[in-house]
């Protein structure tokens, strides 16, 4: 049995195939060693602060002061009339908000006519003021001033000026 040429030939063939397979494995390993080693890419994401940039609703500026922020953050009053922007340093800027209502042609015409009415009222009031000033300047009063040597001086003065008279007893 051990001297059977077919068995020895089979064992030699199996050994030869096994050795050839090992040689192929060594050649593949040699090729891999010759190629530069590629390190896998490393992705590092550092999330230090929340990244959702949202607005916040508060009641007062005191509520804004209490909040800690890492970036410029808008805070709105609940009635949407005031906006505060707080930055990472803690500085706060305040803004007043006004709603912009789109106007059609009729609204623009009404505003124009109201402006004209106000302008005319202003002119009427200015004219009345000028007439009152002129009337006061025209109202005159004669004032007599006595001097110590017996001379008298008469002059026309406005009604708003008080009368001054001196007597000999005061000196």
**DSSP characters over 56-77:** EEESSHHHHHH---SS-EEEEE
Nearest CA-CA partner of 72 in 85, 60, 61, 83: 85
| Residue 112 tokens, joined | 């124009």
pTM of the shown model: 0.36
51/25 Cα distance (integer angstroms): 51
Give residue-wise pLDDT tens across range 93-143.
999 999 888 889 999 999 999 999 999 999 888 887 777 766 666 555 455
Mapping DSSP to helix (H, G, I), strand (E, B) and coil, where does residue 147 land?
Answer: coil
DSSP state of 33: H
For 38-95, the pLDDT digits (tens) are: 777 888 777 666 666 678 899 999 999 998 888 889 999 999 899 999 998 989 999 9
């Amino acid at each position: 049995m051990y001297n059977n040429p077919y068995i020895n030939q089979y064992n030699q063939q199996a050994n030869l195939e096994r050795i050839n397979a090992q040689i192929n494995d060594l050649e593949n390993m040699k090729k891999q060693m010759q190629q530069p080693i590629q390190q896998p890419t490393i992705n590092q994401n550092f999330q230090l602060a929340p990244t959702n940039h949202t607005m916040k609703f508060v009641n007062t500026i005191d509520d804004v002061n209490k909040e800690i922020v890492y970036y410029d953050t808008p805070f709105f009053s609940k009635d949407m009339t005031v906006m505060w922007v707080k930055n990472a340093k803690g500085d706060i800027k305040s803004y007043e908000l006004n709603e912009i209502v789109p106007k059609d042609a009729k609204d623009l015409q009404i505003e124009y006519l109201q402006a004209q009415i106000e302008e005319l009222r202003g002119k009427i009031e200015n004219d009345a003021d000028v007439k009152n000033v002129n009337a006061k300047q025209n109202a005159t009063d004669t004032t007599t001033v006595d001097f110590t040597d017996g001379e008298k001086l008469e002059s026309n003065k406005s009604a708003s000026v008080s009368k001054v008279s001196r007597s000999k007893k005061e000196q």
